[in-house]
Each structure stands twice: as C-alpha cells, then as structure tokens.
Amino acid sequence: MSFTPTFQITPALTKILMDIEASRQAVSALPITVQVLESLRESARLTATHYSTQIEGNRLTQEQVSEVLQGGTFPNRERDEQEVKNYYLALEYTDQLIQDNSKIVSEKHIQTINGLVMDGKKKAMPYRDGQNVIKDSASGGIIYMPPEAKDVSALMRDMVAWINEQKKQDDFPAPIIAAIAHYQFATIHPYYDGNGRTARLLTNLILHKSGYGLKGIYSLEEYYARNLQAYYDALTIGESHNYYFGRAEADITKWVVYFCEGMADAFAQVRLKASEAAKSGASISADQSSLLRELDQRQKQVLSLFKDSKFVTTKQIAELLQIHPRSALNICKQWVENGFLIQHGTSNKTRKYELGGKWSVLLD
C-alpha cells in the first residue's frame, strides 16, 4: 500500500498560509515572561481539553474541567471527569514528545497517545482487530465504513512514513502536512474509540515538531467545536461512505482549506493575546520560552521554590512534588548531573541545592 493524498494549493489557501506565517512570526518575536507564558499555556491546555472532549459528547463546562483537574468532582459525571483527566495526561505526554529533539513521529507515539486518551495509561494501544462502522445516532444509517482491520497496520505505517518523509523533504508547509495527517488518521480510523481526540493530538505534535508550536499557547479544538457540523462536513469527502470506494483517492482540498482556516483563526487569537500581554508590561528583554521548553513539569514546579530562597532542600522538593524523600533525592541527583541544580553539601543535614546559572533568568 502507499499513501498519495490529492489536493490543490489554491490562491485562497496560499493567502491563508501567509496569514498563519505572519501570526507565527509575530508571536515568535514577542518577549513574554515565564509567568505570563505559563499562564497562557495552561489556559490553552484547559481550552484544548474542554473542547476536544466536548466534541465527543463530554458535558463538563470549561470551568468544571479546570476544577476536575484540580481534584474537584461533580455528581453523575464520573465518565466525563475521567475523560478529561485522560486527555490532559495525553496532552502532557505530547509535551514530552515535543521537548524531544527528534523530529520523527512514530506509530508508538500515536498508540501511546490513544492509550492515555482511552485508559489514562502510558501504554501503546494496539489497533482495532475488527470492523468499525460509524452511524448516524438519529437515523442509524451508515455515515462511514473505515478500512478492514487487516489493512489498518499497513495504512498507519504508510501514513507515518509519509509524515516523516514530508517533514524531511520540506516540500509542503507544515500546516498542510498536519491537515493531511489529521484527515488520513480519521479516514483509517485505527481504533474503536478515541480516534478524533488522538487525531487532534497528533496534529499538535506534528505542528510543534515542525516549528509551528506557537510557544504552546494556541488551541485548534475551539474552532472545531464552535461549528461541529462544519468540522464533520469538511472531513466527509468522496461519493461513497465506504473507504474502498473513493474515500482513499478523494481530493481533500476542501478539508485542507478548512483545517488551515482554523489554524489561521487560532493563531490570530494568540497573536492578539500575546501582544496584549507584552504591552501590559509583562514582557522582558529576552524571550525565555525556549529555556522553559527544556524543563519538564516537575522542574517547572520546583522553580517556584527558588523565588523566595536561593537554596532549597530535598525535603522541600519532596513536599512540593508530593513524593517520597528518597525519590526526590534520586531526581535531584539527575538534575545536578544535567545542570538544572547545583548541589551544596553531601550529608542529609547539610545538603541543599541552588538553581543552575543558566536557569536563574527564569526567576526575573
């Protein structure tokens, strides 16, 4: 099997791509403090979690999503709560993949994202082993019949190979590669459930690894959720609902234009928010976002300890991260080795840590 998508780069699409690039360049040039950047990123994560799960029928509001992620619960919403927690875990895993310097996207990455989306576990989820049929909930009629299970592995392998080859060749702009990957994943429908959420996370992963991460402060999901029918209509291409009768060879220009319009809309909103943050006096002389991207979630948490004190102890770190002191000691050892921390003293009583010089600018 081979994957050869068909689409046309029209003048309208070219204009949309130029708008995306203009916003990307503008946001990249804005100096934003760590505090503001983290606030914008967390807001984007919450927005993505809310709208991506809402598309699949989740009933929690965005405010409730935020409460759930902070430990709150709501009566008779257990399934919705777990769905939200799982998606947020998948977002965090995607962030880890983004921090990896490799530009390659692998099948295992995609399978692990689906495992987190569905079960909340960092375990690669195998593809479906049977037929999956998508039906209209009202009429019961077939909307789409994906490829048979025996063809899924080869189709996914071809799709991932195409993504990585296109990123290497640089023939198409990243938004187009991401758009086609989203469409093809939804078309293959490799899982019984969680395909839409996994496709949207895969899209974000591709964009970030291609330099279109926009500091991690954008969300495409809201654009889809605002007009869900338009999202589904754009994905529905070809004369037949059967994968083997035209869907695989269909011209997907309509979808690519829709996807890129969504990117342009989301990027324009981020451009406005980031510009307002910079004008409000929250900006600094040097953009620190690249430094922050090098840190994992625990390191970002530990940064807060150094705002009030030059030195911190293993006990303080353990209490902040809510882990055993021995686990904290092992983590600190790793951080000393990679330069995030500087150790002073060797015994349990005298040992303390100072923030590595490279990272001190993050406290300004």
> Where do the DSSP E strands lie in 81-193?
134-135, 142-144
Q: Which long-range contacts (CB under 8 A, 24 or more apart) does 132-141 make?
A: 132/189, 132/191, 132/192, 134/189
Q: Tell me how far apart the 2 most distant CA atoms of the chain are, in Å.
A: 73
- Per-residue pLDDT, 135: 82
Mean pLDDT of all residues in 13-21: 95
Mean pLDDT of all residues in 220-244: 86
* Confidence label for 280 from pLDDT (cuts 50, 70 and 90): low
Between residues 293 and 84, which one has the greater pLDDT? 84
- Per-residue pLDDT, 181: 95
Between residues 238 and 60, which one has the greater pLDDT? 60
Mean pLDDT of all residues in 160-184: 92
pTM, 2 dp: 0.77
* Confidence label for 78 from pLDDT (cuts 50, 70 and 90): very high
CB 243 within 8 A of CB 249: no
Q: Which of 9-23, 86-100, 332-346, 348-362 has the lowest mean pLDDT?
A: 348-362
- Per-residue pLDDT, 283: 43
103: Cβ–Cβ under 8 A, 6 or more apart, which residues? Answer: 164, 167, 168, 209, 210
Residues 233-272: tens digit of each pLDDT: 888 877 778 888 877 778 999 999 999 999 999 999 888 8
- Per-residue pLDDT, 79: 96
Mean pLDDT of all residues in 179-187: 95
* Confidence label for 284 from pLDDT (cuts 50, 70 and 90): very low
Cα(209)–Cα(214) distance, rounded to whole angstroms? 11
Domain 295-363: state its class: mainly alpha
Alpha carbon distances (Å) from 358 to 52, 288, 362: 36, 11, 9
- Per-residue pLDDT, 139: 77
- Per-residue pLDDT, 364: 62
Sign, Cα dihedral of 280, 285, 290, 296: negative
Token code pair at residue 46: 């919450």
CB 260 within 8 A of CB 252: no
Task: Please give the full DSSP string across 255-302, using - where no structure is assigned.
Answer: HHHHHHHHHHHHHHHHHHHHHHHIIIII--SS--HHHHHTS-HHHHHH
Mean pLDDT of all residues in 177-186: 95
- Per-residue pLDDT, 278: 66
Assess if CATH 3.10.580.10 describes domain 11-281.
no
CB 243 within 8 A of CB 187: yes
Query: Domain ranges in the chain?
Result: 11-281, 295-363
Strand partners, 144: 134
Q: Is the pLDDT of residue 115 over 80?
A: yes
SS3 67: helix
Q: Is the pLDDT of residue 285 over 50?
A: no
